[in-house]
Amino acid sequence: MSAEPQFLSFKGLKQYTPEDGWGQVHTLTPPASAAPKAAAPSASVPDNVPTLTDTLEAAPNDANHALSDPSMESLLEQLRAAPNDSLTHTWRTVAAEVNLLTQRMALQRELKERLRQLDQDLVNLRSTILLHLREVEQAAEQQLHTARQRADTSALAQSKLAAKLNADR
C-alpha cells in the first residue's frame, strides 16, 4: 500500500488494507510494523500525492512508473488527440440521429398518451350525451302522457257537455 500512489483522496472515501481493514483514505497512514497507530489522524492530504485531475506530465517519473514506457506514452497521446477521420463524423451523425430518434420516441409516447386520454374523453362524452338523450326521451314521454290525459279529459268533457246541452234542448 505504501509503495502505491494514492490517487483518490477525499472525505468519505474508504480503502481496505489487509493489515488495518476498512478505513478512511484521508486517515490511513502507512503501516509501521512496530509503531502504534496515531491517535489523531491527519486531516489533510500531502502535497506530493497525485490525484485523478492531475496531468500525466505532473505525475512522478521514476523507473517503476508505468508511463515511462514509450509505447504507453504514445498510446496515451493517441487517446488524447481528437480524431478527425470519416468514422468520427459518421459516429457523430449516428449519435445525433439516435438523439433525434429518442426525442421522437418520447414525443410518440406523449402523443399516444394524449390520444388515449382523448379516446377516454370521447367515450365519457358519448355516455353523457346518451344519458341526456334518455332524460329528454323520458321528459317527452311524460309530456306525451300528460297531453293524452288532457286530450282524453277534453274529449270526455266535450261529450258530457254536448250530452247535457242536447238534453237541455
Tens of pLDDT, residue by residue, the chain (169 residues): 445 545 555 566 677 787 887 777 655 444 444 444 444 444 454 566 555 445 445 444 444 455 577 888 877 777 777 666 778 888 888 999 999 999 999 999 999 999 999 999 999 999 999 999 999 999 999 999 999 999 999 999 999 999 988 887 7
Asked if residue 65 belongs to a domain, the reply is: no
Looking at the fold, whether 43 and 113 belong to one and the same domain comes out as no
Q: Which of 46, 43, 38 is nearest to 11 (CA)?
A: 43
Single-letter amino acid, residue 141: E
Q: How many domains does the structure of the chain reveal?
A: 2
Asked if residue 68 belongs to a domain, the reply is: no
Asked if residue 108 belongs to a domain, the reply is: yes
Domain range for 9: 1-60
Looking at the fold, whether 155 and 98 belong to one and the same domain comes out as yes
Q: Specify the DSSP class assigned to residue 22.
A: E
Contact 43, 54 (CB under 8 A): no
Where a domain ends, among 19, 45, 60? 60
Looking at the fold, whether 161 and 100 belong to one and the same domain comes out as yes
Distance between CA atoms of residues 84 and 89, nearest Å: 8
Asked if residue 18 belongs to a domain, the reply is: yes
> Where does the chain have alpha helices with state H?
70-80, 86-168
Where a domain ends, among 44, 60, 76? 60
Looking at the fold, whether 26 and 93 belong to one and the same domain comes out as no
Grid coordinates representing 68 are 515511462
Asked if residue 73 belongs to a domain, the reply is: no
Looking at the fold, whether 97 and 166 belong to one and the same domain comes out as yes
Distance between CA atoms of residues 95 and 145, nearest Å: 74
Single-letter amino acid, residue 21: G
Burial of 34 (0-12, 13-18, 19+ CB in 10 A): exposed
Looking at the fold, whether 93 and 153 belong to one and the same domain comes out as yes
Looking at the fold, whether 33 and 92 belong to one and the same domain comes out as no
